[in-house]
Amino acid sequence: MLNAIVDLSHHNSITSLAAAKKAGVLGVFQKATQGTKYADPTFRQHRELCDAAGLKFGAYHFGTAGDASAQADWLISVAGKDTLLVLDFEPNPQGQDMSLQEAEEFVHYVFTQTGRYPGLYSGHTIKEALAKAGITSPGQTELSKCWLWIAQYGKAPLIPKVWDKWTLWQYTDGGVGPEPHSVDGIGRCDRDQFNGTAEQLPQFWNGQYH
C-alpha cells in the first residue's frame, strides 16, 4: 500500500502543495461538481496548484437524486474527459440521496462519453444499497466495472463482494481513523491509501491498472 493520495474540496485550505509532495503526496482528488449546477469554487485553483507541484490530479462528483446522466455530463463539462473521474456515492445532507439505479446510470454515461468507467467512492452506503437490491455478484451491477474507492476508518477496509479488491482506501477524514491524519502544506484532510506501488500509480491514472 502507498499512503500518497489526498482528497480535497473548498473545505480545505492549502498552504503549499510543494510541501505536500515533499511529504510523500503523489496525487490529489478534488471535488468538482454536485448535482447539475454546482461547481466547487476552488476546483480550478486547486487544479492549477496540483499542476504546478507536479501532482497527479483527479476530480469527483457528489451524486444527488435526479437526472444522473445530466449530472455526469456536468462533471465532464467542468473537469474534462481526460481527467480521472469519480462518483461520490454517499448520503446527501442537503437533499435526497442518489439511488443505486441513478449511480449505475451515472457511471454508464461517463463510460459512453470517455471510454473509461469512473471510480466509485463510497462507504456503508454502497454496501447497504447492494444488500437491499440483493446484489452479490459483479454481473448484477454495472458499478462493478468501476474501480473501488472505499471509505472506512478501521484497521483495514472490508469491501462488497462485487469487487475482488479495493483501489483506494480513505482511511481517515483528518480526525477519525488510523494516523497520520494530516499532511504538510494542507493540514488535516481526507487521506487515502493506494493499493499498489509508486510505479503502478501512473499506470492507474492512465487506466492501465485497476
Asked whether residue 86 is assigned to any structural domain, the reply reads yes
pLDDT at 56: 97
DSSP reduced 3-state for 77? helix
Asked whether residue 127 is assigned to any structural domain, the reply reads yes
Asked whether residue 26 is assigned to any structural domain, the reply reads no
Does residue 209 carry a pLDDT above 80? no
Look up the pTM and report it.
Answer: 0.96
Asked whether residue 78 is assigned to any structural domain, the reply reads yes
Percent of the chain with pLDDT over 70: 99
Single out the residue of 192, 191, 193, 187 nearest to residue 12, CA to CA. 187
Asked whether residue 24 is assigned to any structural domain, the reply reads no
pLDDT at 210: 63
Q: What is the pLDDT of residues 144-187, one digit of tens each?
A: 999 999 999 999 999 999 999 999 999 999 999 999 999 999 99
Instruction: Please count the structural domains in the chain.
Output: 1
CATH number for the domain including 111?
Answer: 3.20.20.80
Does residue 70 carry a pLDDT above 80? yes
Q: How confident is the model at residue 34 (pLDDT cuts 50, 70, 90)?
A: very high
Asked whether residue 160 is assigned to any structural domain, the reply reads yes
Name the burial class of residue 66, with classes exposed (0-12), middle (13-18) and buried (19+) by CB atoms within 10 angstroms of its CB: middle
Q: Domain of 10?
A: 6-15+32-175+188-205
